[in-house]
Chain A
């Protein structure tokens, strides 16, 4: 399999400079090595900091239990799923898995049409923002991955329609990106809020990113 690499730019928080990065249209073995050998130890350090500060586990990062090795194994060789990642300065900074078959639009204006459903999107623990953590190393990863999901499906004729269930801690990010919060989904585990984007909202998001 040939991986397509597209140049993207992240913001390095410490120096406020733009740093060249890569958007890759597959999560490969190296990303899983990075997850095991770098993300996991960094995660434990952050959880230790939260425990030391006596922060209730209810307020710990809600993706802390995600296992990307298992998530990749679930979809091995299936065309219905696609994975993407952002790599910067030799390290995986963000991971995403999408489903292009299993979910349909729910909004009345596009009910039943195909959409790209974002199964999982996560940035590396050192890019997390929070009161008990060091400042994030890079910003912009989530937006780049979201934009990539939209653009891939625009090219496939889906008109960029996307949907997802958000962890409660991530709802602000998706609202900032222009996705409308459709409220808690009673049919979904933990009643996570459901977000869906119409082609018009997709266009507004893309225009904003390109400065139009």
Chain B
């Protein structure tokens, strides 16, 4: 099962490329896979926020919550 795809060029700074490579290594994903994953996550977060939901990080030990402000 193959879905057709389109190609684009992405320009990144050295710092951005370094972060991308670190994340790829950490997540065991290719650059393309990681960026596609990031796009899915970004869209999901945006959709929830547009619905009125809030995004929080919770400290597992203290249960303290910190809201992530999405601009």
Q: A residues within 8 Å of B by Cβ?
A: 2, 4, 6, 23, 25, 77-80, 100-102, 110, 112-114, 148, 151-152, 155-159
Cα(A155)–Cα(B3), bound, Å:
10
Q: What is the bound-complex CA distance between A79 and B1, given in angstroms?
A: 17
Q: A2-B4, A79-B39, A80-B43 are in contact. List 8 more A-B contacts (CB 8 A).
A: A23-B1, A79-B44, A110-B28, A113-B27, A113-B28, A114-B29, A155-B2, A157-B33
Q: Which residues of A contact B17 (CB under 8 A)?
A: none
Tell me the minimal C-beta distance from A116 to chain B in angstroms.
Answer: 11
A149 to chain B, nearest CB (A): 11
Interface residues on B, range: 10 to 19
Known: A80-B43, A101-B44. A158 touches B4 (CB 8 A): no
The residues of B with any CB-CB pair to A shorter than 8 Å are 1-4, 27-30, 32-33, 36-37, 39-41, 43-44, 47
Q: Are B1 and A151 in contact (CB under 8 A)?
A: yes
Give chain B nearest CB distance to A77 CB in angstroms: 8
A-B contact list, 21 entries, CB within 8 Å: A4-B2, A4-B3, A23-B1, A25-B1, A25-B3, A79-B40, A79-B44, A80-B40, A80-B43, A80-B44, A101-B41, A114-B29, A148-B1, A151-B1, A152-B1, A156-B33, A157-B29, A157-B30, A157-B32, A157-B33, A159-B28
CB contact between B37 and one of A114, A148, A159 (< 8 Å): that residue: A114
Known: A114-B29, A156-B36, A158-B29. Is A6-B43 also a contact (CB below 8 A)? no
Report, nearest first, the 5 A-B pairs whose CB atoms are least far apart. A157-B33, A79-B40, A80-B40, A80-B44, A157-B30
Contact assessment for B28 and A101 in the assembled complex, using a CB-CB cutoff below 8 Å: no
